[in-house]
Structure 1
Amino acid sequence: MKNINLTSHKLLIFITLLAMSCSKESAVESQDSVSTLSLNNENNVKKASDTFNNGDTILNVNYETGTFDSGITGVTATHASAADAAYIVNPANNGSNFAIAHKIVYGDTAYNSDGNIRSESDAVDIQSARFFPGDERRYEFSVLLKDWTPWVSGSTYETTIYQLKVSGNSTSGSGVPLQFRTARNAMRLRYEGSTSIKDIITDLRPYVNQWLNFRVDVLWADNNTGYMKTYMKLPGQNNYVLVDEKTNYLTFAGDVSVGNVGYIKWGVYVTQAPLIRIAYHDNIRIIKLPLQ
């Protein structure tokens, strides 16, 4: 009788250990499946903790937390005081649940920030998201021009929707290496000091209230060894298309020795009377190049 009980006891221990092992293996398999879905299934809701491009992503602001900072300390929403200068959009209608909206109203001081009519987010407080000479980066963002009023005749009054900017002031100096702007009814690239301007969409009106996707690859340099390549993916297009390229080019418009740092901004900045401007932004990413 004792031998039978001992054998039964050993069998029970073996079955228990086997069940625990299977449970752990299932848990690992489940985690791998979730990771694969997050990376490869576009219909799967993206989380703030997702990684892209084999872990090369430095910043991924996708707003899937439903919050202004996308769950990332250091991401700001706006410095304008108006209650609707920034708000969360749900659903985003671009395969994600959430996006951020920025709004400005010409002549309304509640939409004034840093000395001008603007409502912009930024990531300047995130050390890893800053850029300096020698850095090679990819920048991505999606934008929807909400009920965008066609250009009113007269002065152009460009509205900026995204900036690769270098900090500075009247004593230290700096510049804006690249701005995406609407000008009249076009989308244009404006480079540092307005030394170069390139219209990449000649007529925006067919694309109002649709998501537009942009990508910029940059080698940051404070001499003529850098490059800047801009790509675009319009509604109906499956791949990004190169729309402008600068090589052997000074890309960093500042001086690190006096404290200038590079950072990104997205939102809406300036407009003409009497317009209201609203833009949605999503999938703000910074990716380290070259990809691993």
Structure 2
Amino acid sequence: MSDVKKGARKQKGGSTAGAKVSRELGISVMVAVLYGLFLVETIWESSLLGLAFSIILFGILVLMAYLLGGSKKEQRQFRSLVLVFIGLSLLSIIVELLRYLDIPAAAGTFWAGALGAAIAIASVIAIAVLVYIEKDELKKLYIHAGDVKAMWLGAAGLIICLVAGLAGAYFVFGGSILGQDKFLRIAASVIIFGVLAGIVEEAWFRGLLLTRIVPILGESRGNIYQAAVFGAFETVLFYMITGQAAYIPVIFIIGIFMGYYWGRATIKADSLAAPALLHVGLYVLLLLPLVTGLSS
């Protein structure tokens, strides 16, 4: 009879562990949804709708930060991420308020470029503050050189993508028709965007998100999860830039595939260096011909 009781107690303990994993998975899903909402807000054409959405999102983030104020380490980690999103959402509210007030500099190409640069700078600051608050080392977030061979392979991939993107945009997608000066301006803008976006996204998804999901779900499932979140992010970003809804399913699939591959590469090399270099190169390879074609 004592053997039966021991077995029952053991089964009860296993059930509790499963419930814990489920709860933490729910927290991670909510964080992913919030980041998706932060991106969706930028799609709204009406400045009033964008401002209203930003304010609502800010309220949701504040409420979630309060609800995650527990003492468990996993909850504290995700609460810190939500606090970062609160800071970014405040930036979004300011931008949308400027658009609603019809400030000339808060519209058009200048607004898009300024917003992208501001979010990139804010993200770097937020990551630094988050690392300081949680007493993490940058190495734990894969922010270091890591495998030198992998880093050189990433650099080679970046160079190939740059050359192919520039050549394809100029000779195939109408860059030669635009004139050298205009094409160089487009190329410089795309390359700057690629560098900012590639590095920041790797720090967010393979640095902050992957390192928090893997202890909860395991390496394989955690990598699939962050890849799915990254795929959704890339899909929204693509629509923001191009306004082309027809390619959304394809971009989502490509985003998941690349997110999974870069996640595996990050774990294997113990570094973000190679994936970040390839990420920048892929942005240039895909966006430069596209933007050049739309401008010609």
Q: TM-score range by the shorter chain?
A: under 0.3
Hey, which of these two has a bigger chunk of strand by percent? 1
Q: From the CA coordinates, give the structure whose radius of gyration is larger.
A: 1
TM-score (norm 2): 0.28
Q: What TM-score results when the alignment is normalised by the length of structure 1?
A: 0.28
> Larger helix proportion, structure 1 or 2?
2
